[in-house]
Amino acid sequence: MHIPIETFELANGLRVTLSEDHRAPIVAVNLWYHVGSANEREGRTGFAHLFEHMLFQGSEHVGANEHFELVQRAGGTLNGSTWLERTNYFETVPSHHLETALWLEADRMGRLLPAMTQEKLDTQRGVVQNERRWSVDNQPYGTWWEKLPALCFPPSHPFHHSLIGSFADLDAASLDDIAGFFRTFYTPDNAVLTVAGDFDATEARALVDRHYGGIARGSGRPPLPDMSLPPTFGTWLRETVEDDVMVPRLFLASRSPVFGSEDYYAASVCGAVLGVKRGSRLRRALMRDQEVASAVSAGTWDLAKGADLFVVDVTARPGVTPSQLESATVAEIDRLMADGVTDLEVERAIALLETDFVQAMQSAGDRADKLSMFATLCGAPSRLNEELERHRRVTAAGVTAFARERLGADNRASLMYVPKPEAA
């Protein structure tokens, strides 16, 4: 299976990937801006994500809420998302609406600020604070995705702080911050644009040039601080959180090789061996044989700078104590390190990854997003076509070596959620 890829770069530095195919009359437009919560300054946690919300509030030629309306009226789907090191925006539309999608994205890349108002900022601040309540504060274990990076990255590291942000920092965000962030990070030379699906490449090039060619290059993105980290924590980090939950849940993280690196693929396969689907080791041992867990998963966060995280997530069955849960989980990882993994386990993991990959590549939106990801994080969208082969090259010896180097007692962080003691 081969995804067609054509790339070019505009004079203003925008890197463009076209992937043409005509299976269905659908086209996906996808933009990755190389900015995420890691780029936030002190006192502005949550800003990259709040900013993402503001990008749906109109631009010079697009009214408030019109972005959503125009795409939906075209019969399209759309959204955006913010992560530690990138922010993406995407729409999939019937192919004869390609230009509308390209123009909408260009108008906000080139001309966002005329549409920004204090009222819109205040509204979206309220929306985001409700998003925080909904996904973090009023959800069992909801704080895990800010507590885990805080435990695993040192305080000075750009991945340490909360992506969704604190109420106080969100309250502090101003229109000046919006303007500064926009001018610094939302520039064509800090973005990649991917178009995937049913279009004519010559026409698409002309449209991209017409709508994006006139947008000025930025003045250069400020460098991130040095993000490199030693390969292990050097100790076993621990944090226990009392939460409004009924059963314990353990997140056990290890530092692992950054996304896309040579050593990353063994970590990826190890995640599948340990925690993907019914046949995985943790599922078999903790759910089927010992009945100490009701849910397990394992995998990488796919961070491309400094260090990635390899995370095992295990939820206890009622009656199982936090220490029983942790010992049972750790025993399986110790066993994997001591005895190694088998060829059959690695074959199972790779076969599952292969089917998942082919299934995902049916969707124009998924193809476009993955192409943008490889363009942004690895500098080459063509890496998408190497993914299967890179996974297939992983051997049992490689997975065992990864586990021995990276999953040991000197490279573990236990974030344990326990039920709050009953109020008197």
Partner 1 sequence: MSHDRTVPRPVPGTPRPYHFPHFERRVLPNGLTLVVAPVRDLPIVTLHALVDAGAAHDPRGAEGTAMLTAALLAEGTTSMDGATLADRFEGLGSAVEVGADWDSAWVECTGLTSRLDRFAALLADVLRHPAFDERELMRARGERLAELLEQRAEPRGLADDMFARFAYVDGARYGMPQGGTERSVGGISRDGVIAFHAARYTPASTTVVVVGDVGVDEAERVVTAHLGSWQGAPRATATEEAPDAEAPGARTIDLVGKPDAPQSEIRVGHVAIPRPHPDWLRVNVMNAILGGLFSSRINLNLRERHAYTYGAFSSVDPRRHAGTFEVATAVESAVTAPAVREILGEIERMTTAEVGADELTLATAYLDGVFPIRYETTTAIAGALANLSIFGLHDDYYDRYRSIVRGVTTADVLAAARLVLRPASARIVIVGDPKQLRPVLAGLALGEVREWDAQGARVG
Which residues ranging from 384 to 403 are in contact with partner 1 (CB under 8 A)? Answer: none
Which one, 184 or 294, has the nearer CB to partner 1? 294
CB of 320 to partner 1, least distance (A): 10
Per CB under 8 A, the list member of 333, 364, 396, 416 interacting with partner 1 is 364
Stretch that binds partner 1, among 82-90, 253-261, 358-366, 400-408 (CB under 8 A): 358-366
Closer to partner 1 by Cβ: residue 308 or 345: 345
In this complex, which beta carbon is closest to partner 1, that of residue 279 or of residue 408?
279
Q: What count of other Cβ atoms lies within 10 Å of the Cβ of residue 75?
A: 12
Spatial separation of the C-alpha atoms in residues 207 and 366, rounded to whole Å: 22
What residues between 288 and 347 interact with partner 1 by CB under 8 A?
288, 291, 294, 315, 317-318, 344, 347
Based on the shown chain and the rule CB under 8 A, indicate whether residue 92 belongs to the binding site for partner 1: yes
Backbone angles phi, psi at 280, to 5 degrees: -75, 160
Nearer to partner 1, 238 or 288 (CB): 288
Stretch of 229-237, 245-253, 301-309, 377-385 contacting partner 1, by CB under 8 A: 245-253
How near is the Cβ of 94 to partner 1 at its closest, in Å?
Answer: 5
Distance between CA 5 and CA 3 in Å, rounded? 6
User: Helices 264-275 and 343-360 sit at what angle, rounded to 10 degrees?
Assistant: 100
The Cβ of residue 390 has, within 10 Å, a number of other Cβ atoms equal to 14
Determine if 2 is a binding residue for partner 1 (CB under 8 A).
no
Q: Does 13 bind partner 1 (CB under 8 A)?
A: no
Which of 249, 222, 195, 236 lies closest to 364, judged by CA?
195
- Distance of closest approach, residue 32 Cβ to partner 1, in angstroms: 21
Nearest CA to 213 out of 30, 376, 16, 57 is that of 16
In the set 278, 339, 389, 422, which binds partner 1 (CB under 8 A)? Answer: 278
Q: Is 44 helix (H, G, I), strand (E, B) or coil?
A: coil
The gap between the terminal CA atoms of the chain, to the nearest Å, is 62
Cα torsion through 351, 352, 357, 362, rounded to 10: 110
String marking each residue 173-212 x if it binds partner 1 according to CB under 8 A:
-------------------------x----------xxx-
Report residue 383 as tokens.
Answer: 């890496």
Nearest of 338, 307, 339 to residue 408 by alpha carbon: 338
With CB under 8 A as the contact rule, which of the stretches 81-89, 183-191, 281-289, 321-329 interacts with partner 1?
281-289
**Interaction residues for partner 1, span 213-232 (CB under 8 A):** 213-214
Alpha carbon distance 418, 260 (integer Å): 35
Which residue, chain included where needed, has tokens 């220490």? 323
User: Is 114 a binder of partner 1 (CB under 8 A)?
Assistant: no
Which listed residue (238, 277, 335, 404) binds partner 1 by CB under 8 A? Answer: 277
Among residues 20, 68, 183, 393, which is the contact residue for partner 1, using CB under 8 A? 68
Selected binder of partner 1 within 168, 338, 358, 409 (CB under 8 A): 358
Residue number, 77 or 327, with CB nearest to partner 1: 77
> Least distance (Å) from partner 1 to the CB of residue 96?
4
Q: Which of 7, 166, 297, 363 binds partner 1 (CB under 8 A)?
A: 363
Pairwise CA distance, residues 341 & 345, whole Å: 7
Give the span between the Cα atoms of 268 and 259, in whole angstroms: 9
What angle do helix axes 264-275 and 322-339 make, rounded to 10 degrees?
Answer: 130
Q: 289: which DSSP letter?
A: I
Nearest Cα neighbor of 328 from 310, 312, 343 is: 312
Measured from the CB atom, is 209 or 239 closer to partner 1?
Answer: 209
Question: Contacts with partner 1 in 122-141 (CB under 8 A)?
Answer: 122-131, 133-135, 137-140
Question: Shortest Cβ distance from residue 296 to partner 1 (Å)?
Answer: 12
Beta carbons within 8 Å of 341's beta carbon, 6+ residues apart: 270, 273, 396, 399, 400, 403
Rounded to an integer, what distance in angstroms lies between the CA atom of residue 55 and that of residue 113?
A: 10
Nearer CB in complex with partner 1: 204/303? 204
74 near partner 1, rule: CB under 8 A: yes
